[in-house]
Structure formats: C-alpha cells, structure tokens
Chain A
Amino acid sequence: MEKLALKAYWKANIKILISLLLVWFLASFGFGILWSDELDQIQIGGFKLGFWFAQQGSIYIFVLLIFIYVHLMNKLDQKYKKQISQELNRK
C-alpha cells in the first residue's frame, strides 16, 4: 500500500512539474525570445512588451513559480503523509 501511495505522490509531483515548467518556458523562451519581436508591437508605458518580458517580466514570473511550487508541494507532502498514517492505523 505504501508503494501505491508513493506512486500516486510521484505522479502528482510530475504533473506539478510539467505545468510549472510550461509556464517557465513560455515566460522566458516564449515571450522573451521567440515571440518577443511580435510582442514588441505592444507598448505599455515606456516598455515594449517583448523587451519587458526579456529584461523584467520573466524574472518576476520565475520567483512566483518557485513559491507556487513550494505551496503545492507542501500540500502534496501533507496529503501523502496523511495517507501513509491512515494505512498504518488500518493495519
């Protein structure tokens, strides 16, 4: 049973990783590089949007991503620990 719980935990973990890394890729390689020139057509204040993503926005998003990850993983860890202790009680 413990093995099953671990398997579920790992699957959930991978799902979190993939979705967060997708955002990571979009914010930097996507908006900051690949589509940066197109986004530069949009200007907000003194910043062209693509330029802003490359020099500012991507970094803010990176910080956010790690804290979202911390939050999600702490929740997942708790769930896993609860599952394990329930298993033990049943035994």
Chain B
Amino acid sequence: MSTQELTYLFVGLSFALYIGIAFWSRARSTTDFYVAGKGVNPLANGMATAADWMSAASFISMAGLIAFMGKDGSVYLMGWTGGYVLLALLLAPYLRKFGQFTVPDFIGTRYYSRTARLVAVLCLIFVSFTYVAGQMRGVGIVFSRFLEVDINQGVIIGMIIVFFYAVLGGMKGITYTQVAQYCVLIFAYLVPAIFISILMTGNPIPQLGFGDTIIDSPTYLLDKLDQVTLELGFPAYTENIKSNIDIFCITAALMFGTAGLPHVIVRFFTVPKVSDARKSAGYALVFIALLYTTAPAVGAFARVNFIDSVQDTKYVDAPSWFKNWENIGLISWNDKNNDGIIRYEAGNAFKDGRPKFIDELGQSGERMTANTSDISNQNEVYIDRDIMVLANPEIANLPGWVIALVAAGGLAAALSTAAGLLLVISAAISHDLLRKTFKPDITDKQELLYARLAAALAIFIAGLFGIYPPGFVAQVVAFAFGLAAATIFPALFLGIFSKTINKEGAISGMLVGLIFTFSYIAYFKFINPSLNQEENWLFGISPEGIGFLGMILNFFTAIVVSRFYLPPPTEVKQMVETIRQP
C-alpha cells in the first residue's frame, strides 16, 4: 500500500473508533455532560487529561520550536509540566472537594458574587477560544499535507467528528474518546522517535539517545550539534540566548497559566474522591512526561537531520519531503546567489517574513515568491517550525506506515484538545451564564439541551477560525497562558488558602491582572510590534512572560483591597473549612 492509502486507513480507523466510543458513552444527565457522572477511574482520567492537555501545539509544534530554539526551548518543557505540580498540590483536591461543575462555579460561590462569576466566565471564554483556534489550524495542516484534501474540507471533517462525540457524549463521551486518543497519539509520537534514535545513536531510548554518541563516531550528538550550529552562525544549541529573568518569567507564566486553565482543572471534577484527584494529577503528568521528555530528543535529532540532508544539496537533488512541504507553502527556497545549491545558515531568507508565493517557477524548478530578498546574510531557506515533527519521519527515511501513524497522532492531539475546550465553553454558557445567572428557573433537562446547543455553536465558531484563520493565532497564545496565570490562578489559590479575601479583593485583583497583562501583550504584539524588543520591555520581561508579573499584581491587589472591606460572611468561611477537610 502507498503511504497515502495507509494514511487514509489509519486516520479512518481511528475516527471510527472515536465515534464508536461516543455512541457507547452517551450523556444522559447534566452531571454526565459536565463531569462524566463523577465516576471516572483516576488512571483513565489521567490519560484523558494528558490527551486533553497535549494539543496540536505539543504534538506538532513543540519539538520543532525546541529544534530551532535550543536550550531556550526549555521554557515550554518546564512550563507545561511544572504547572501540574501546582495543580496537584494547590488546586485539584480542594476544587474536587468543593464538588460542583465549573471553575466559575467555585469563584462565584467562594466570592459570593455574580460579578466575580462573570469575570471568571469572561476570562475562561477568551482563554479557551484562543486555544481552539490553534487546534483547528493543526487539523488543517495535517489534512492538507497527508490526505491531500483541501484545508477547508479537512476542518469541516474535523468539526463533524468533534460535533459527534462532544455534543452527544459531553464530558463522558469526551473522556473515553480521549483515552483512546492518548493511546493513538503517544504511540504515534514514540515510534518515529525510537526509530530515529536507533538510526542516529544506536540507543533505542530517545531520552538517553540524544545524550549519546553518534553512531560509528566518538562525538556526542549534542556536541556535534553545538559545533554545527556555531559554524552556521547560530548560537550554540545548548546555550541560552534569552536573558535569565525573561526565561524565569516565561516559565513561571506558563506554569501558573497551566494550573489556571479551566479545561484542565475541570478534568479533576470527574473522579469519584478527593484522593483520586491527587492520584489522577500524578498519572496525568506521567503520561504527559512520556511525550515531553521525548520532545527535546526529537528536536535535537530533527535539527541534525535537517541540516545534514539540506545543507549544500543541489535543489534538483533535494529530498522529496523538501518539495512536498514547499508545495504546501511551509518551506521556501530563495536562491540568492543563483547557483542552484541550497545554503542554510543563520539569518532570514526574506526581509518580510512569510513567503508570498507567485505562480512562477525559478531556474531549478523552485517556487518563486514576491518577497524581498534579505541580502544581509546568505541563508536561502525559509522553514516553518511547525513542520518538524510531521516531516521528521520523512527526513529520516522511515517507512510509510510510520508517516501514516504520525498523521493519525497529530489529528488525535488536535481533536482531543478541541473537544475538551469546547466542552468548557459550552458549560460556561449553559451553566454559568444561563442556569446560574440569567435564567435560573430552567430544568435540568433544558439545561442539558442548552449545553448541547452551546457546544454545537462553539464548534461552529471554532470551525470558522479554522477556515478563516485569524493571522494572529501564534501571537495570542501568550494571551491564553498569561491571562490564566494573572486572573484565574490567584483567585482560586486565595479562595482556598485564605479565609480573609473577600469579593472586593478578588474582583479587583482579577481585573488588575487582566487589564495589566492584556494591555502589555496588546501593546507589544498588536499596537507597536516594532517596539517588541528587550530594551523596551518592563524589567526585561517579554510579553510571553508578563503574565507572571500580572499574577503578582493580582495577589497584591487582592490582599490589600480585602483589608478595606468587610470580611467574607460566615457561610463562606465554613465552606473554605469544608473543602480543606479530607
């Protein structure tokens, strides 16, 4: 069978499996729909959490980012795993004990205020939609490259699948589908990584392989990588370029943001007991760590392989993956010196960012662009970092079935995360906005209907994001984590660990965190992107890391403002006592 047929087979089989599970685990009540009846086994919940968490960004983009950022890429590795320690120790058990459906539920009850609930809903919807947009782009990339269907058709197929199991099954359907999706995605990630590790270092464990010597040579892989990157004018692979304070703040913003992400937190509402919530966070991190410790190995292998197979090759002899990705527009070659040989080194191929292809072919048959050539350096290659994981098996010449597997894995990662997010959005609308705020008299059955309608609407909007992708998807990711860290995390933490924080304190804290973080990111990313450089940043903190400062401001404001108003009523203090009990 050809790679193409294998891909159709693998993707088709995995989709059939997801739909089958959705039928088997339909939701029958709001408890089923929002929190899977609170009956999920902690191990299964750990797997589902891992699939929910590991998105198209983790599966498709992260190793590629690390491949090109080197040691600076560690912020993602530490940031997106360390948050689980905070979640397990500081939030999950207590929120499970509280025992309701959504994150705004807790904030609304603990701060005895509708306004607090609404501010939480606002942050939640913003964070979740930002995230969904990225997933849909991931689905589009995988479909267009591997199944050779139009990106729009790909997005619509993805929407229908998610619609099926999210609207029918709610949290229950999503949880059990995610267990299956985890298995697909982790298998798809590890198999090529193990193959490549054996090919390059002879060591079958990628986590050890990238610290090993290159096969048939006494040189360590990372030493070679340092040497090659330096020769090509890049900073050494294992050295930081960003300043320590910026790395510190980005890591912290990602960690606290992770712990404050609503779609992750609600996962811990689905287990039967408080002790299960703790255990479940541990399992989730094990399943996540499996991919996250492999990713830096994949990144290092990919960088070496990429340089080896492209550098100083004649374009006409370039490997087929190079041309395949060029056809989709994610690689471009700008033959600056017209010698027909690919030259890759530090610097930009074009002055003006992404390639804008025109309908013409150059001397060697490469796709021409309307961009201005950047003649301050000799680099001729534009490469989108998002393709490294997807292209890796081809770059390493692995068999067709591995490539097909990676396509199915990428889709599993994108769809599982999209479903989890859509559910959180729908619960925020049907439960927090309708039932608890504007239409308190609806019945359980009506609420379930509204929840399904809201999920369908959210899927539709997410699909639109996929078909008409806003140009700012990459820029707004900083928003999602920064805002979660600066708004939701402090409100939850203080709600549990302090009895004196009142509604005035919490609301002003959230608003200060929200406005500060939002304005800082908006200023540097949208209003004045040309000023987005280290010398203009506050204390040298980039927009990606500013959520950490926003969080500190939130804590400070909440504590100070609380002193000037009445302490929380007795029943709230009692509630805090109760959630602290095992």
Contacts and interface: CB of A to CB of B under 8 A. Distances in A.
A33 B82 contact: no
Nearest to B274: A77
Contacts of A32: 74, 78, 251
Interface residues of A, number: 42
Contact of B251 (A17, A28, A45): A28
Contacts of A54: 71, 74, 77-78
B531 to A, nearest CB: 26
A24 B78 contact: no
Interface in A14-31: 17, 20-21, 24, 28-29
A41 B29 CA distance: 59
Nearest to B223: A46
Interface in B242-261: 244, 247-248, 251-252, 255
Given A17-B89, A67-B282, A74-B275, A59 B248 contact: no
A28 B82 contact: yes
A6 B499 CA distance: 15
B155 to A, nearest CB: 33
A63 B252 CA distance: 18
B296 A69 contact: no
A37 B220 contact: no
B85 A60 contact: no
Contact of A66 (B73, B85, B244): B85
A52 B211 contact: yes
B293 A62 contact: no
A16 B93 CA distance: 14
B247 A33 contact: yes
Contacts of B315: none
Contacts of B90: 17
B580 interface: yes
A70 interface: yes
A69 B278 contact: yes
B293 A66 contact: no
A58 B82 contact: yes
B84 interface: yes
B221 A46 contact: yes
Contacts of A10: 580
What's the dominant secondary structure at chain A's contact region?
Answer: helix
A42 interface: no
Contacts of A47: 211, 222
A59 B582 contact: no
Contacts of A59: 77-78, 81, 289, 292-293
Contact of B279 (A24, A65, A70): A70
A3 to B, nearest CB: 9
A12 B238 CA distance: 41
What's the dominant secondary structure at chain B's contact region?
Answer: helix
A33 B582 contact: no
Max count, chain B CB within 10 A of own CB: residue among A13, A32, A76: A32
Contacts of B281: 66
Interface in B544-582: 577, 580-582
Interface in B217-239: 220-223, 238
A12 B84 CA distance: 21
A69 B582 contact: no
Max count, chain B CB within 10 A of own CB: residue among A9, A45, A63: A63
B285 interface: yes
Contacts of A85: none
Nearest to A34: B244
Given A29-B248, A56-B296, A67-B282, A6 B581 contact: yes
Contacts of A65: 85
A45 B244 CA distance: 26
A46 B212 contact: yes
Contacts of A51: 71, 74, 222, 238
Interface string A60-90: 1011011101100110110011000000000
B85 A24 contact: yes
B240 interface: yes
Interface string B174-212: 000000000000000000000000000000000100111
Given A6-B577, A66-B89, 5 more contacts: A34-B248, A54-B78, A55-B74, A58-B77, A73-B582
Interface of B: 66, 71, 73-74, 77-78, 81-82, 84-86, 88-90, 93, 207, 210-213, 220-223, 238, 240, 244, 247-248, 251-252, 255, 275, 278-279, 281-282, 285-286, 289, 292-293, 296, 577, 580-582
9 contacts: A6-B581, A29-B248, A36-B240, A56-B207, A59-B81, A59-B293, A62-B82, A63-B286, A69-B282
